[in-house]
Amino acid sequence: MNLSILARDGKPIAGSTLKKFAASLDGSILEPGNNDYESLRRLWTGLIDPRHPALIVRCSGESDVVRAISFARNNQITVAVRSAGHSLAGDSFCEGGMLIDISGMKRIEVDPVAGVARAQTGLTVGEFDHATQGFGLATVLGECSAVGISGFTLGGGLGRLMGKHGVACDNLVSAELVTAEGSLVRANAAENGDLFWGLQGGGGNFGVVTSLEYRLHPVGRILGGTLTYPISAIRDVLHFVDNYMTEVPDEFDIVVDIGNNGITALAHGIMEPIVNLVVSYCDDLQKGEAALRPLRSFRRPLSDSIRSMPYVAMQSLSDTRPLAEYGSSGASFSLEGGFIEGLGSQVIETINGFLDEAPPCFWITAEHYLHGAASLPAVHERAFSLRRRGYTTRIFAGWTSPGEADRSAAWVKRLNTALARFSDGALYTNYLTGVEGDAGVRAAYGTNYDRLVALKNRYDPDNFFSSNRNIKPDSTLR
């Protein structure tokens, strides 16, 4: 092992010091040139992150996280934290410095009597769902099985069950984290309640969260699948959906995809533009049939795959492997996120107006209509403040030819900017990509931002954890 790393002031850290640190870990250290090091730089999109951490610390448990943070702080080393690496903004890596990798921490304990699960934060959504579904239970998690539970939940967490049970952070019972000082802290309604408030939507700003305890709900077979229409039907379909969503029951969820989704599992191999509705109803199947009947019958689709299925089967519909294969083949992407309050006429005409000039590979997503229990809590009840009806959006373009890069990226940016006027200024923390800057972070937290700054001042006044959708400390508020 030939470890080498610089402190933030540019001074090298002695090799003997690094070797002593490595020997103290139950996990392992990876350095550039190691095969596992290179594989960990591959993102969920299949792309390789361009940054090169000087060290990757693969933590086997909470004690390794404590040691890594203490070592980094004492030696003035920049850090980033990685679980599943799905951050759209690339928060999971750093150039130089130390990457604290918690993806191997996957212990989960399910208490079906109490209806709770305590999980280490290296778990993915798919791994968590499979563990709890063994007892016929689930919590609110995302629809992509490869997403890590930690970043998803700490950013709020929108998923198929949220209309009935609230967003993911609404279902948190407690959390354990290692602070910037290297202390292991427990936070819940009774202990460190202010910190617990901040973890319910405030992202990775206050420490490395090592375990999360969730409230579970009975979830058995559900009614779900896709309805696919030709792109020529976009106006009819979106107008119907816009009206239909005003009356849907809390148990209903929808994701609207527009484009040539051939690199996703939802429409694998279909390269002509389509409109795809991914729907689910998580409760009594007969009630679900009645609720979905108007949507399934207003217009004949190209295909209708809606059926009764296990919850985990519905969750795996949005598998990202085709996208990762596309990225691994040498493709590049441009992706931006936003929010719209509805799919009214102006939104529909805006989207439709961009279709004629769309790049060869694109999609536009409006997903997880916020309604029911997801929109009930008061804005100040938790750090997560997106409590209004509407859809989070993502706009994507991919290309394999360098000649398509500028055109594709410009199209994504122009469409996202055009749709922003229908957001009323709202943004979803987990869909920030970094292009929004500090103003985007402020918009995502809204009126909760100042309280979050005060928490940052208390728990991380030096901004040790800055590779995130960063809430910057403010010395004037101390």
- The whole-number pLDDT of residue 264 equals 58
pLDDT at 59 over 60: yes
Phi, psi dihedrals of residue 28, rounded to the nearest 5°: -140, 165
- Whats the size of the chain, residue-wise? 478
Of 197-201, 318-322, 346-350, which gets the smallest average pLDDT?
A: 318-322
> Per residue in 361-386, pLDDT tens?
899 999 999 999 999 999 999 999 99
3-state secondary structure of 40: helix
- The whole-number pLDDT of residue 153 equals 98
- The whole-number pLDDT of residue 268 equals 54
Residue 161: DSSP 8-state: T
pLDDT at 77 over 60: yes
3-state secondary structure of 5: coil
> Per residue in 177-189, pLDDT tens?
999 999 999 999 9
Kind plus residue range of the DSSP H or E element containing 64 = helix 62-74
> Per residue in 103-112, pLDDT tens?
999 999 999 9
pTM: 0.94
- The whole-number pLDDT of residue 232 equals 96
248-271 mean pLDDT:
78
3-state secondary structure of 73: helix
Is residue 209 exposed (0-12), middle (13-18) or buried (19+ Cβ within 10 Å)?
Answer: buried
pLDDT at 15 over 60: yes
pLDDT at 265 over 70: no
pLDDT at 356 over 90: yes
Closest by CA position to 257, among listed 368, 386, 374, 181? 368
Exposed e or buried b for every residue in 412-449, given b needs 16+ CB within 10 A? beebbebbbebbeebbbbbbbbeebeeebbbbbbeebb
With cut-offs at 50, 70 and 90, classify the pLDDT of residue 161.
very high
Of 285-299, 313-327, 455-469, which gets the smallest average pLDDT?
A: 313-327
With cut-offs at 50, 70 and 90, classify the pLDDT of residue 49.
confident
Q: Which domains does the chain have, with CATH numbers?
A: 15-101 (3.30.43.10), 108-218+452-463 (3.30.465.10), 221-438 (3.40.462.20)
Of 39-48, 154-163, 461-470, which gets the smallest average pLDDT?
A: 39-48
